[in-house]
Amino acid sequence: MAAASTAVYVSNTEQYDRWRRKSLDMQTRLANDVPSTDMLDENARLHREAAVIQRRDDVALGLAIGAGVALSVSAVLWLTTEGERPAPSVRIANLETMETFFRW
């Protein structure tokens, strides 16, 4: 989860940087020129793109929180386990012992 969070965050940061440059350019154009229909359409597209970037940030944050919780739970379980607890196993020396033990 941590790797996925990092990958989404890095990818989203690059997209945000590109969006930010386009947004600043659009703000300058809207401030200096009379807004045209094309400019307003592009501005609306930039707003939709910002919403997508925000949702991806939310996903990255959710993945990071999930990874942190999983790591914390693992650490607590590891630190609070008392001694070794090997998995139960049955060892049978030979078929005669098994037949005698299980009374086949």
pLDDT 10s digits, 5-43: 888 888 889 999 999 999 999 999 988 988 889 999 999
Average pLDDT over residues 89-97: 56
Taking phi over 0 as left and psi of -120 to 50 as alpha, with beta for the rest, 77 belongs to: alpha
pLDDT computed for residue 104 by the predictor? 44
> Are 34 and 21 a contacting pair, CB within 8 Å?
no
> How deeply is 87 buried, as exposed, middle or buried, from its count of CB atoms within 10 A (0-12, 13-18, 19+)?
exposed
pLDDT one-digit tens code per residue, 78-90: 888 776 655 555 5
pLDDT value of position 81: 79
* Average pLDDT taken over every residue of the chain: 83
